[in-house]
Amino acid sequence: MSIIVYEDLIIGKTYDLGSHTLNHKSMINYAERFDPQPIHIDEIHAKNSIYKGIIASGWYTASIWMRLACDGLLLDLQSMGSPGVEHLKWLHPVRSGDTLRASLVIVNKRTSNSRPKLGIVTTSGNLTNQHQEIVFSLQSSVFVKRK
């Protein structure tokens, strides 16, 4: 149930969005369907690449981020969609067995000039692996209903 509105969001607040452990089969299944580059699906090619083995598609990693963001915050937020992502980076390869933890920080917020019943909230998010390396980051905005 969506209960969090624009006024409830505080600049600087960090949300722990939970974690997800990747498995080989789901990584390969995603890549075969949506990103069939050899580094994501071909063991021999991947072993001979700079990654020395299969790595998750960056888009699979982004999908994991989105799922954790939904479960950890967005499904409770009076979200009206997003105008887009300003920055998205894949900083380290993600592999089968990695456990990724998601976090999100409220960076900025303002009332929409064209739709005053909405606020525009800018967020910064990360996925961090079990070695405390940030493997994925993004900055995006979301439209949120105001009281």
> What string of DSSP letters covers the chain?
---B-GGG--TT-EEEEEEEE--HHHHHHHHHHH---HHHH-HHHHHTSTTSS----HHHHHHHHHHHHHHHTGGGB-B---SEEEEEEE-S---TT-EEEEEEEEEEEEE-SS-TTEEEEEEEEEEE-TTS-EEEEEEEEEEEE--
Residue 35 has a pLDDT of 98
Q: What is the pLDDT of residues 12-40, one digit of tens each?
A: 999 999 999 999 999 999 999 999 999 99
Residue 1 has a pLDDT of 58
Give the mean pLDDT of the chain: 97
pLDDT at 2 over 70: no
- Model pTM? 0.94
pLDDT-derived band at 70, boundaries 50, 70, 90 = very high
Q: Go through the domains of the chain in sequence order and give each one's CATH number.
A: 6-145 (3.10.129.10)
